[in-house]
Structure formats: C-alpha cells, structure tokens
C-alpha cells in the first residue's frame, strides 16, 4: 500500500485549516523555543559562573598537600614542591600555574581588627591565574620591589577604616613553631571583586614575604593551574590529577574544590528536565486537542475513507502522519523563534552582573550559548513526542467503524 498517499493526505489535511495549524504550531513552537532558550541560558550561565569561579582566583584546578583544603594547617605544604613545579613546566595539559601560601591571620589598623586569610602570591605569575590585578579599584597591583605592599578588599578597607598608603599590621602564626609573626604593611591597593568572601576576608602580600612570615621559605600550600582544556577539570579521575596526586599531595579540578557549584549545575539541569516535562505536558494537551478537533471535524470523511477500504492501521497511521507534519511545522517555527531570540541575546547579553549564586558572583554579562544539540535533540524530541502523543487520537481513529463515523451514512 502506498505510504506516500498518506503522507500527502496528512500534509494537505494539516494545511487545510491554516489558522488552526498556525496557532497549534506556534504553541508547540514556543514550547520548543523555550526549551532551547533555557538550555542556552543554562550553558551560558554555567560557563559564566565556571569562568568567574576559576578565573577570579581558584584556577581550573589546584595541587596541594593532602588534608590542607580541609584543615588549612600551615605546616601542610606541598611535598617536593620544586619537583612538582619542574614537572608542571613540562606538562602539556597545563597552560599556566602559580604558587601560593595561605595562612589564617589577623589584620589590624588603628581603628579596627579583623580575621583574614593572608595569601602570599607571586606578582609575576598570579595574573595568569586570577583577576586580582584587574580587580584593583584604588592604588595598583604589586609594583616595584617593596615587600611591605599589601592588597586588601574594599569591604576590609572600610572595616579597618584605612585608605591607600595607610599602615596596617598583619599577624600570622609560624607554620612549624606556632610562634606569632607580625609585620607592618602599607596598603598599596584596594580591590573589589563583588564577592563578599574575597572583599572582606582576604589580603594579598608577596609570596616571599608570606613565606618568610610563616617560616615556609621555598614552600607553597597551593599551586593553582590553568589548563589548555578546562573540561579536564570536570573529570575527577583524569590522568592529570592522578599523576600529581602522589607523595602525599593531591591534585583536583574545580568541581572538587567547589562541589556546591557542580551540584547546583546538576540541580539546574534536573530543574530544566522537570520544566521540560511540564512544558511538554502542556504542549501535548494542545496537540491532542488539535488532532481531535481535526478528527471530529472530518468524522464523516474518515468514515468514507474507511468505507473505501482503508484499514484501521492505515487510518491510525494517517493521524500519526498528520501529527508528524504538525510537529515538523512546529519544529521550524520553534527553531526560528529560538534562533532569533538567541541571536539577539547572544549579541546584547543579559545583565546579571553582581548576582551571587552558589557562592559565585556573576561578573560579566550573561550570554546564552548556542549549541548544535539544542537544534537537533530538542526538535527531534518534539517531533517524536508529538507523534507518540498522537497515538491516542490515532487509536481512536483506527477503532472507528465506518458506520459510526459516517453516522447518517446511507
């Protein structure tokens, strides 16, 4: 039996009531466009947040001594750090890296005192890994050789009531003896990340100065890494992490350093799935309604077609084909709508700047990200879904007896 005649019939039947097809197609298309748009926004947001989280200070991954991330104990420095650095310099997967020392300390001014993380950074390599240099709003990033320069956040400066050039005293404990080490610094720069933790609870000094204060000359607590391919950071068992997780050290990607962020992304994906299911449920009611309206409107015609010898299976198939045509039209409308919306938004972006989410502040404008799967998988899913949903009216049509369908018949 010629299948093409049913394809032809389905196509022409669907175009018979153009207004209804347009309305139904638009409704389904909007659902599809919403799915594509949400996916693009989520990918854009994820990329934005990952970029913000990793490029602000964290890095794509870090190497540290086992246990340091949890306890922050000053004596837990990287074992064989010079060898690790030598290896990293030859590591093809690693683009840039920088050493840091971190210590809990106290910072005091004549006006106030606050607990902070004192972080020793290498002024030359740190800008490759973080945006401390770009975040300066007053003064400047480390210049010259003055070892008493200190960079603090705007909120900390407000708390301490200090300005550029003011003196502050930093107190940290020596790593091995526990003795307190105190040094006077001069505020050389004030930064603003718009991240509360960084703006209020961190202070940056030169690496060698911090090492000296903590009695850790030549040592480091942390090596932040920037990878050529940052997707490796999402693979916890990747060979890179395994190779550097030796001699009591551990190497991990950002998903391990910021597990809450990854969990939030997974949660968001689940949210999209739920939203998608709801959206498809609404759309499916529209499809069923459209197909049944079309079916009831042509009940007598269906009776005639059955009377001419069309089998119940062929009748059901006709309805499925009609749904397929409707799905195809909806696909085109949905993809066009999504493409236009995304083209505009990926050009102008969406201003979510300053919003903190899962501990990460979105710094840049959010740009939805187009991906091929959005215009392949979702439209295919809509088409398939439309045809599956059409099974209900198709079975109804297949079960119609000619006499019942024609009602008045002869």
Closer to other proteins by Cβ: residue 260 or 401: 401
Q: For other proteins, what does the binding mask look like between residues 15 and 34, x meaning CB under 8 A?
A: -x------------------
401 belongs to the binding site for other proteins (CB under 8 A): yes
- Beta carbon of residue 392, minimum distance to other proteins (angstroms, whole number): 20
Q: Does position 1 bind other proteins by CB under 8 A?
A: yes
Q: What's the 3-state SS for the chain?
A: CCHHHHHHHHHHHHCCCHHHHHHHHHHHHHHHHHHHHHHHHHHHHHHHHHHHHHHHHHCCEEEEECCHHHHCCCCCCCCCHHHHHHHHHHCCCEEEEEEEEEEEEEEECCCCEEEEEEEEECCCCHHHHCCCCCCEEEECCCCCCCCCEEEEEHHHHHHHCCCCCCEEEEEEECCCCCCEEEEEEEEEEEECCCCHHHHHHEEEEEHHHHHHHHCCCCCCCEEEEEECCHHHHHCCCCHHHHHHCCCCEEEEEHHHHCHHHHHHHHHHHHHHHHHHHHHHHHHHHHHHHHHHHHHHHCHHHHHHHHHCCCCHHHHHHHHHHHHHHHHHHHHHHHHHHHHHHHHHHHHHCECCCCCEECCEECCCCECCCCCHHHHCHHHHHHHHHHHHHCHHHHHHHHHCCHHHHHCCCC
* Residue 314 contacts residue 6 (beta carbons within 8 Å): yes
> Can residue 89 be called a binding residue for other proteins (CB under 8 A)?
no
- Asked if 86 is part of the footprint of other proteins (rule: CB under 8 A), the reply reads no
Which lies closer to other proteins via its Cβ, residue 93 or residue 304?
A: 304
The reply to whether 5 sits near other proteins by the rule CB under 8 A is yes
Question: Residue 43 Cβ, how far from other proteins at the closest point, in Å?
Answer: 43
Which of 159, 169, 307, 332 contacts other proteins by CB under 8 A? 307
Q: Which of 7, 293, 304, 391 binds other proteins (CB under 8 A)?
A: 304
Q: How far is the CB of 389 from other proteins (least distance, A)?
A: 23
Among 306, 335, 386, 393, binds other proteins (CB under 8 A): 306
Kindly give the interhelix angle for 299-307 and 259-297, rounded to the nearest 10 degrees. 70
| Shortest separation between residue 16's beta carbon and other proteins, angstroms | 6
Mark residues 345-384: x for contact with other proteins by CB under 8 A, - for none: ----------------------------------------
Task: Determine the interface stretch with other proteins among 148-156, 171-179, 261-269, 305-313 (rule: CB under 8 A).
Answer: 305-313
Looking at the Cβ atoms of 228 and 404, the one nearer to other proteins is 404
By CB under 8 A, tell whether 300 contacts other proteins: yes
Stretch that binds other proteins, among 33-41, 94-102, 248-256, 402-410 (CB under 8 A): 402-410
Q: Does 13 bind other proteins (CB under 8 A)?
A: yes
Shortest Å distance, C-beta 60 to other proteins: 59
- How, if at all, do strands 149-153 and 136-139 pair? unpaired
Give the number of residues in contact with other proteins, rule: CB under 8 A: 28
Can you read off the two tokens belonging to residue 104?
């809990």
Smallest distance from other proteins to CB 308, Å = 6
Among 19, 217, 372, 410, binds other proteins (CB under 8 A): 410
Q: Tokens representing 6? A: 């049913």
By beta-carbon proximity to other proteins, the closer residue of 72 and 300 is 300
Residues that bind other proteins (CB under 8 A): 1-2, 5, 8-9, 12-13, 16, 300-301, 304-314, 401-403, 406, 408-410
């Amino acid at each position: 039996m010629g299948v093409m005649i049913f394809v032809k019939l389905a196509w022409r039947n669907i175009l018979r009531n153009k207004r209804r097809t347009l309305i139904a197609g638009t409704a389904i298309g909007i659902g599809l466009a919403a799915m594509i748009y949400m996916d693009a926004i989520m990918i854009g947001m994820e990329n934005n947040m990952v970029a913000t989280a990793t490029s602000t200070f964290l890095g794509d991954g870090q190497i540290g001594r086992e246990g340091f991330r949890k306890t922050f104990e000053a004596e837990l420095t990287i074992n064989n750090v010079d060898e690790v650095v030598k290896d990293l310099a030859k590591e093809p997967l690693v683009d840039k890296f920088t050493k840091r020392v971190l210590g809990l300390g106290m910072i005091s001014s004549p006006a106030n005192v606050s607990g902070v993380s004192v972080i020793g950074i290498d002024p030359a390599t740190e800008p490759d890994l973080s945006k401390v240099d770009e975040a300066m709003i007053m003064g400047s990033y480390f210049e010259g050789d003055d070892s008493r320069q200190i960079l603090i956040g705007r909120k900390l400066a407000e708390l301490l009531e200090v300005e550029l050039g003011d003196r502050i005293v930093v107190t940290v404990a020596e790593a091995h003896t526990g003795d307190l080490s105190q040094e006077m610094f001069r505020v050389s720069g004030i930064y603003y990340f718009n991240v509360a933790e960084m703006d209020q609870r961190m202070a940056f000094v030169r690496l060698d100065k911090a090492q000296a204060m903590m009695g850790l000359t030549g040592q480091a607590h942390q090596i932040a890494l920037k990878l050529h391919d940052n997707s490796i950071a999402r693979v916890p068992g990747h060979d890179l992490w395994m190779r550097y997780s030796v001699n009591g050290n551990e190497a991990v990607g950002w998903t391990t350093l910021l597990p809450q962020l990854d969990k939030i992304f997974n949660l968001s994906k689940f949210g999209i799935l739920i939203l998608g299911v709801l959206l498809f449920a609404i759309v499916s009611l529209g499809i069923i309604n459209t197909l049944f309206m079309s079916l009831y409107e042509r009940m007598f015609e269906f009776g005639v077609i059955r009377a001419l010898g069309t089998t119940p299976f062929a009748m059901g198939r006709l309805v499925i084909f009609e749904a397929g045509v409707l799905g195809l039209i909806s696909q085109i409308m949905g993809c066009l709508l999504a493409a236009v919306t995304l083209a505009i938004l990926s050009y102008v972006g969406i201003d979510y700047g300053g919003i903190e989410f899962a501990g990460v502040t979105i710094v840049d404008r959010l740009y939805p990200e187009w991906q091929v799967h959005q215009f392949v998988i979702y439209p295919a899913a809509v088409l398939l879904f439309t045809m599956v949903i059409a099974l209900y009216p198709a079975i109804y049509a297949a079960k119609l007896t000619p006499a019942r369908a024609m009602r008045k018949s002869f």
